[in-house]
Amino acid sequence: MPDRASAFEIAKKEYRPYVERGDTIEYTKTTYFGVGTRDYSMATGGYFNGTKLKANEVVISFPSGEFYKFTLEEIWKAVKQGQEQLSLF
């Protein structure tokens, strides 16, 4: 079963290319970015289960019914910290 930590790793993986190319959180809020695979779905802003999400909220849901919510700020910070750690080596 997926847990919050593995859901967060998915969010980082999906957003990493956008962070690395310099997209801003403000810009990303306007894109309603989403991903759908057989293993998970991810949505930014819009609606999830009939509830309106804030523009900076990201929900990752799994076929098992579990879902986790993060903010773009959390994801951007984690991706950037990972970049800084890699540049130390």
Domain count of the fold of the chain: 1
In angstroms, rounded to a whole number, what is the distance separating the alpha carbons of residues 50 and 24?
27
Residue 88 within a domain: no
Residue 89 within a domain: no
Residue 68 within a domain: yes
Which residue range forms the structural domain that includes residue 56?
Answer: 4-82
Query: 53 CB contacts (<8 Å, ≥6 apart)?
Result: 43, 44, 45, 46, 47, 59, 69
Query: Whole-structure pTM over 0.85, yes or no?
Result: yes
Please give the backbone phi and psi of residue 50, each rounded to the nearest 5 degrees, phi first. Answer: 80, 5
Residue 87 within a domain: no
Q: Please, how many CA atoms are within 13 Å of residue 81, restricted to the half-sphere of its CB?
A: 7
Instruction: Choose from 4-13, 27-36, 44-53 the range with maximum mean pLDDT.
Output: 4-13
Q: For 88, which DSSP code?
A: T
- Specify the pLDDT at position 85: 54
Residue 60 within a domain: yes
Checking if the pLDDT of 89 tops 50, the result is: no
